[in-house]
């Protein structure tokens, strides 16, 4: 099914019946916009449908009509943005539910929890870098998939904000080079001795 077929049939029928070449009027365009908004309220209008509708109206307008009606035609753009936002939100929450079903438990330690988020963000960064500098290795769909997964994990992290127990981990002492006798990368001209500081 192409984009034009996705436009609500009532809208196309209205355009075909009442808005032939050079017959677009301000009232007619307003009616089309209201029809699209009404259809969108019942079922989100896909982005491609909004673009196709704009293209159809553009074909019917001469330059003067376009200049007069452009502000009203631009009213269709928010529907396109809203449609994209709805789709992204739906994909994030679908991924969130999938992840919870697969891994129902979540770390109570916030450091472990944020590490999960960081891993997904790292995958997203990798895909964006490849898309930018090595586009033959990935696609924008892969970038979007990683973005959705990162967003889903960020939501999981937020959902447990009141449940985390931050407990410092066990730590151990690390020795500096001068304490171990390792001197190959120490500045020249300074004397060091094992077990003490500079001399």
Question: What's phi and psi for 152, nearest 5 deg?
Answer: -65, -40
User: What 3-state class would DSSP assign to 156?
Assistant: helix
Question: Within a domain: residue 146?
Answer: yes
More confident residue, 61 or 127: 127
Answer yes or no: do 65 and 112 share one domain. no
Question: What confidence tens digit (pLDDT) does each residue in 9-30 have?
Answer: 555 555 555 555 556 666 676 6
pLDDT score of 6: 46
Q: Are residues 75 and 11 in the same domain?
A: yes
Virtual CA dihedral for 8, 11, 14, 20, nearest 10 degrees?
-110
Structural domain contains residue 30: yes
Instruction: Tell me if 136 is assigned to some domain.
Output: yes
Together in a domain, 27 and 76:
yes
Among 82, 114, 143, identify where a domain stops: 82
Q: Categorize the per-residue pLDDT at 88 as very low, low, confident or very high, splitting at 50, 70 and 90.
A: confident
d(Cα 66, Cα 72) in Å, to the nearest integer? 10
pLDDT tens across 51-77, in order? 666 666 666 666 776 676 666 666 665
- Same domain as 109, residue 78: no
Identify whether 186 is part of a domain. no
Average pLDDT of the residues in 88-110: 94
Tell me the chain's radius of gyration from C-alpha atoms: 29
Three-state DSSP state, 140: helix
The answer to whether residue 34 is domain-embedded is: yes
Q: Are residues 75 and 122 in the same domain?
A: no
pLDDT at 176: 76
Q: What is the DSSP-derived secondary structure letter of residue 192? A: B
Number of domains, the chain:
2
From CA 150, how far away is CA 104, in angstroms rounded?
17
**Neighbouring C-beta atoms of residue 118, cutoff 10 Å:** 13
Q: How far is CA 117 from the centre of its chain?
A: 15
- Report the pLDDT value the prediction gives residue 39, as an integer from 0 to 100: 64
Residue 175 domain flag: no
Do 78 and 114 lie in one domain? The reply is no
* One domain, residues 73 and 129: no
Asked if 124 contacts 146 with a C-beta cutoff of 8 angstroms, the reply is yes
Q: Does residue 137 sit within a domain?
A: yes
Identify whether residues 109 and 73 lie together within a single domain.
no
Q: Treating both helix axes as pointing N-terminal to C-terminal, what angle do 47-60 and 63-73 enclose, rounded to 10 degrees?
A: 150
**Does any domain span residue 190?**
no
Instruction: List the domain range (segments joined by +) for residue 57.
Output: 3-82
pLDDT at 3 over 50: no
In angstroms, the CA 79 to CA 66 distance is: 20
Q: With cut-offs at 50, 70 and 90, classify the pLDDT of residue 1.
A: very low
- Does 40 share its domain with 78? yes
| DSSP letter assigned to residue 198 | B
Residues 73 and 113 in one domain: no
Which residue in this structure is represented by tokens 């209008």? 45
- Which of 82, 114, 130 corresponds to the end of one domain? 82
């Amino acid at each position: 099914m192409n984009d034009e077929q996705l436009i609500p049939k009532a809208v196309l029928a209205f355009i075909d019946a009442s808005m032939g070449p050079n017959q677009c009027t301000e009232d007619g365009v307003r009616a089309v916009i209201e029809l699209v908004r009404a259809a969108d309220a019942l079922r989100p209008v896909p982005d491609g449908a909004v673009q196709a509708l704009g293209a159809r109206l553009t074909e019917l307008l001469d330059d003067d009509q376009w200049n007069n009606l452009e502000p009203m035609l631009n009213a269709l753009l928010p529907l396109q943005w809203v449609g994209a936002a709805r789709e992204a939100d739906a994909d994030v929450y679908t991924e969130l539910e999938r992840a919870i079903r697969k891994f129902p438990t979540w770390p109570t330690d916030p450091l472990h929890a944020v590490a999960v988020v960081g891993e997904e963000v790292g995958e997203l960064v990798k895909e964006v870098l490849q898309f930018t500098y090595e586009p033959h290795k990935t696609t924008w769909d892969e970038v979007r998939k990683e973005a959705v997964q990162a967003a889903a994990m960020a939501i999981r992290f937020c959902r447990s904000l009141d449940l985390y127990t931050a407990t410092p981990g066990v730590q151990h002492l690390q020795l500096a080079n001068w304490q171990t006798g390792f001197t190959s990368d120490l500045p020249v001209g300074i004397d060091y001795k094992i077990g003490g500081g500079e001399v």
